[in-house]
Structure 1
Amino acid sequence: MAVLTFVLMFVLAACGNSASNNTNTAEGNTAEQTTAAGNAGTTEEAAEPAEEAPTEVTIKHQLGEATVKVNPSKVVVFDNGVLDTLDKLGIPVTAVPKDSLPSYLEAKYNVDTVENAGTLFEPDFEKLAALQPEVIFISGRASEAYEELNKIAPTIYLGVDTARYLESFTENMNVIGQVFGKEAEMATELAAINDKIKSVNEAAAASGKKGLIVLTTGGKLSAYGKGSRFGIIHDVLGVAPADDKIESSTHGQSVTSEYIAQTNPDYLFVIDRDAVVESEGGSKGQEVIENDLVKNTNAYKNGAIKYLDPNYWYLSGGGLQSVMQMVTDVEAGVK
């Protein structure tokens, strides 16, 4: 009996220890699970909600300030450079002046689905008021109508400052990127243009040659230098001026064929205004330029007279497509 009692006591003690260990283990797991649940809750509480994109943006420009809806759907444009840019980005336009569209935009915007906004100098205020646009873009030609246009819708001036062409152009493009939520696309387009500009600068510097810019209209000639409307050739693209004393004015400095012969440029860049603007007698740019006097210049002798496309240079400068084409034109001219 003593032996049996001893064995029974040993078995009961072993069972008690086993139960105790199982209980401790279960309690330990429960504690770990509670801690894990607590940590999960802490992580969820610490996570911050994603920042919402702005619904409107305030733009400061040369004529004032405008607060506009981001990605507006009703857009009126009084600048062909801005229209050129919106076209490149695939942004629809509600109304434009149809009387002075460059040829490469004519087929898409001189249609019934796009309203005629008047002219670049004389907007159709009554029609614009009826359209109720969400934003209006203008530049120099429509600047005198700014106050009246701004009463109809937030109006943004995006004219290019020719004295600081590249900086001004870039600022304008970034404004468009902000307004339409196209910052990333705009950065890519501007990077491509800057790469092309760098390439042209290198070619111009390597040539060591000098250039002259002239505009022809109605049989007359005007020369343009640094800081002028077409001064991008000198200021941005690095072509040295054949004459660094040309007056910087909106309509250029009136010159003659004798002046061109005396200046004797290595490159002669020509913009024929009459090729895109109706004029009596039509375009005669090449006839005006290529006379006996000009034929004595280095530019003529070396086949370095470059006729620049006035659709880009005269009608729509300052746009993504037009500036890239302008840079490409000069690149071809200095090769």
Structure 2
Amino acid sequence: MKILVTSLAALGVPGLALAADLTVSTATGDATVPSNPGTVVALDLAAIDALDALGVELAGVPDITPPAYLQGAMEGVARVGTLFEPDYEALAVMSPDLIVAGGRSQTVVTPLSAVAPTIDMTITGEALIDEARARVATYGEIFDRADAAAELTGALDDRIAEVQEAVADKGDALILLTNGGKLSAYGAESRFGWLHAALDLPEAFPELDADTHGEAVSFEFIAEVDPDWILVIDRGAAIGQEGEAAQATLDNPLVAGTKAAQNGQILYLDSAPLYLAGGGIRSLMGTLDQIEAGFSR
């Protein structure tokens, strides 16, 4: 039967053309994947963001409360484990044509590859914008949506240029992540560093460690740096964790004395897209909208 099907496909019998494999770029180099796979599982929120923006229907997603803008993309879709621990039994039953992993699921790419073709589409902080563009382009190749992918990345480039203008000559900025009552600062080479690098937004304190998880800081540090702007990401709010909110944490006399506070230039960013789906094309666009609105007030 296999020989017959192959022969008929070679003769061009309608409906029996065999899908060709593609070699595409991923976070860990080139990988071979099926062209236009039918049953697709995505275990990374940035990937779900981009795939949904391209109109790709998913068969499986992680069991997590997503950022509000991704709720529609994940509603009614089968849950196949968590971001960190896939449900291998459910995946084996589903028998997907392609699994898209990355970020928090990056460590399980190898065991996932034993279930189905799996690609690592992790997006890192240091070159986040370039990698976000590259991932969208790869999805465009895989799902025969190259034109739509080019439109998305073109719109991102246009938006970045517009926000660069909005922040130009408005002063420097300090990126803070709050986690309950704790504070971390993030520099240009961190997971949130694209806000500096892509937007040409000067760092208030350029000597911060290049660390994915930021550098622990104090209220005294913030007062000494005295930034023109403070961009705040609330980790607790992003993951739905109970505890002290970012506004309460920063309700402090030392913070209140900074130029940022005195001039009403503390921006509380929508944390879930940034923290959970960092590098997703729509996550990026939403954050850019917030930055432009804040700096244009």
Q: Could you tell me the TM-score, scaled by structure 2's length?
A: 0.89
Question: Which of the residues 213, 220, 225 maps onto 1:263?
Answer: 225
Deviation of 1:262 (Å): 0.9
Q: How does 1:26-175 map to 2 (within 5 A)?
A: 55-63=20-28, 65-111=30-76, 114-175=77-138
The alpha-carbon distance between structure 1 residues 107 and 282, as it changes in their structure 2 partners (threshold 3 A), is: farther
1:61 aligned partner, one-letter code: T
Q: In structure 2, what is the Cα distance between the partners aligned to 1:93 and 1:61?
A: 19
After TM superposition, list the pairs within 5 Å mapping 1:1-335 onto structure 2: 55-63=20-28, 65-111=30-76, 114-207=77-170, 209-279=171-241, 281-335=242-296
SS of the residue 2:114 aligns to: helix
Tell me, what secondary structure is at the counterpart of 2:156? Answer: helix
Deviation per residue, 1:141-178 (Å, 9 max, x gap): 11111111011111111111322222111111111110
Given residue 197 of structure 2, which amino acid in structure 1 is its aligned partner?
Answer: D
Letter of the structure 2 residue corresponding to residue 226 of structure 1: A
Counterpart CA distance in 2 for 1:277 and 1:312 is 10
* C-alpha displacement of 1:206: 3.1
Shift of 1:53: 12
Q: Aligned partners of 1:108, 1:313: CA distance in 2, in Å?
A: 17
Alpha-carbon separation, structure 2, partners of 1:241 and 1:215: 15
State the alpha-carbon separation in 2 of the partners of residues 60 and 96 from structure 1: 22
1:223-275 Cα distance to aligned partner (Å, 9 max, x none): 00101110011010111000001111121100111111111111100001111
Cα offset for 1:100? 4.1
Cα shift readout 1:65-124 (whole Å, capped 9, x = no counterpart): 43222221111111111101111122110001122422222244142xx11110111111
Answer whether contact 2:26 2:135 (CA < 8 A) is retained. Answer: no
Instruction: Give the SS at the match of 1:198.
Output: helix
Give the partner amino acid of 1:76. Answer: V
Gaps of 5+ in 2: 1-16
> Could you say which residue in structure 1 is the equivalent of 2:3?
none
**Cα deviation, residue 283, structure 1:** 4.5
Describe the shift of the 1:249–1:54 C-alpha distance in structure 2 as closer, same or farther (beyond 3 A): same
Determine which structure has the larger helix proportion and give its number: 1
Residue identity in the other structure for 1:304: Q
Q: Cα deviation per residue 1:154-213 (whole Å; 9 max; x = unaligned)? A: 111111132222211111111111011111011111111111111111232232x00000
* Runs of 5+ unmatched residues, structure 1: 1-51
Q: Which amino acid aligns with 2:181?
A: G
Percent of matched pairs sharing the same residue: 38
Cα distance change, pair 98–110 in 1 and its aligned pair in 2 (3 A):
farther
Q: Residue 271 of structure 1 aligns to which amino acid in structure 2?
A: I
Q: How far is 1:140 from its partner?
A: 2.4
CA RMSD of aligned residues (A): 1.8
Paired letter, 2:232: V
In 1: Cα distance, 2:81 partner to 2:22 partner: 27
In structure 2, relative to structure 1, the CA distance for the partners of 1:278 and 1:325 (3 Å cut) is closer
Sort the Cα spacing of 1:126 and 1:285 in 2 relative to 1 into closer, same or farther, 3 A. Answer: same
Q: Distance in 2 between matches of 1:64 and 1:191?
A: 24
CA distance in 1 between counterparts of 2:39 and 2:255 reads 50
Separation in structure 1 between the aligned mates of residue 197 and residue 278 of structure 2, nearest angstrom? 15
